[in-house]
Chains A and B, each alone.
Chain A
Amino acid sequence: MKAPDFSYFEAQNIEDAIKYKSEDDEAVILAGGQSLLPALNMRLSSPSCLIDISKINNLNEIKIEGDFINIGALATHSDVMNNDLVREKYPCLVDILKMVAHAAIRNKGTHGGSIAYGDPAAELPAFAVAMDAEIVLSGLSGQRIVNAKDFYLGLFETDLKSDEILTAIRYPFLSHNQHLIFDEVCRRHGDYAMAGLMAKVELDQSKINNLDLVYFATGDKPNVAQNTARLVIDNGYDYEKLKKSLASEIDFAGDLNSSSEMKLHLATILINKILNKLER
């Protein structure tokens, strides 16, 4: 349970960090370290160097930019939960973050770190996909913006290039008839979910006009269930039909917490839980 050997570079600014990263393919960015350090302690990963960006100024700002709320990569989960703008514009994000680990971990773990790490069992990547978030990446040739839907490629695999660092996430505001509803099933509060669901619902009166279903802890990345969402809009909740649809749409991968069959079952009943929450 001790990390392998690596060198350590404390970046003073984003340019230094980008330059260093572009010169060493095996180097890894260290922000809050709350996912990276367990992985190192368990020797699941052995980078040549950790580039510590946590001391870089102004990367933790949370501000409104046009129709977006812009969360700086280094804002910790606690920063985000306690931020007045987030509490006012995105109360659902505060509720989601309450499910992310425990207070002492939220004090150190960063928003950008969780998005960039791309753990398929984590809440934030699925939230970003459901919200149609824009992910801001800075590299040698400047800045580019990737839609969260295109950012996650596979298991812990993202569109981040070897010279790039994630610097911010931009969430568009929800309109008055849109709601982000989420639920998850986990063995202990704060643990990774056995299965979880982010649902963006657009209502016309009480009828569902549009629905996006994004699952986490089900497969290799945030899983979008488009056809199943269509079925829900057209026919409401029908366990057997939705289960069949989810099975054809998502490649469920079992883990230590739950088998793929159990995840499929949980993914199906989560739709019912979401619809019940919507009625309340």
Chain B
Amino acid sequence: MSAKNSVNISFSVNGENFDDVTVPTRQHLADYLRSQGLTGTHLGCEQGACGACTIEMDGVAVRSCLVLASQANGSSITTVEGFDDEVMQKVKNNFLKHNAFQCGFCSPGMLMTTKEIISSKKKLSRDEIRSEISGNYCRCTGYQSIVDAIEESINEIN
């Protein structure tokens, strides 16, 4: 669908610069990222409830379905594809070990939320972990194993 309104923006995604790209004003950031082949960012509900589209924007986790691409002008974005350092490798290994990737749909959002939990350096109880991931739906209802994986990651890394 073509839009009559568009804006030109510049920002970076996973360290790569996107300079002066034209985006429709009505396009949300998740759709833009996916249109660029960054399909790790998933779209479930497009109303901020499911958490599958969570990304990091200027250092904090946000819902990319609730941010317009035009609002990303000047910002630095990291998607699940961009998290491949030693810490995130450990987290991913723990997710594998505990079978926390079941169908995989919620996984990008779960990993981004885990990243934010790990960055906060807090030692969280299982109840607190549940509260932190309360904004991420897993429709396989594999929460038990996801909490296991996050718990082990916190103990291992922080």
Contacts and interface: CB of A to CB of B under 8 A. Distances in A.
B67 A33 contact: yes
Given A3-B28, A107-B60, A102 B71 contact: no
Contact of B134 (A34, A42, A108, A190): A190
Given A1-B47, A102-B135, A52 B70 contact: yes
B26 A4 contact: yes
A30 B68 CA distance: 10
A41 B135 contact: no
A250 interface: no
B26 A108 contact: no
Interface stretch (A5-13, A57-65, A146-154, A266-274): A5-13
Given A6-B25, A50-B25, A190-B134, A37 B67 contact: yes
Contacts of A33: 66-68, 71
Interface in B121-145: 131-132, 134-136
A103 B5 contact: no
Nearest to A109: B66
B61 A107 contact: yes
B46 interface: yes
Interface residues on B, range: 35 or more
Contacts of B48: 34, 37-38, 101, 105
Interface in A15-39: 30, 33-34, 37-38
A14 B61 CA distance: 27
Nearest to A104: B61
B51 interface: yes
A176 interface: no
Interface string A112-148: 0000000000000000000000000000000000000
Nearest to B46: A1
A interface residue count range (under 10 / 10 to 19 / 20 to 34 / 35 or more) = 20 to 34
A7 B65 contact: no
Query: Interface of chain A, helix or strand or loop or mixed?
Result: loop
Nearest to A48: B5
Contacts of B134: 102, 188-190
Contact of A38 (B7, B54, B66, B135): B66
B113 interface: yes
Contacts of A30: 68, 71
A280 interface: no
B4 to A, nearest CB: 6
Given A5-B5, A41-B47, A34 B26 contact: no
Contacts of A188: 134
24 contacts: A2-B1, A2-B26, A2-B46, A3-B28, A4-B26, A5-B26, A6-B25, A6-B26, A8-B5, A8-B25, A37-B66, A37-B68, A40-B26, A50-B25, A54-B71, A101-B48, A102-B134, A102-B135, A103-B61, A103-B116, A103-B135, A108-B63, A188-B134, A189-B131
Interface of B: 1, 3-5, 7, 24-26, 28, 31, 45-48, 51, 54, 60-63, 65-68, 70-71, 73, 112-113, 116, 131-132, 134-136
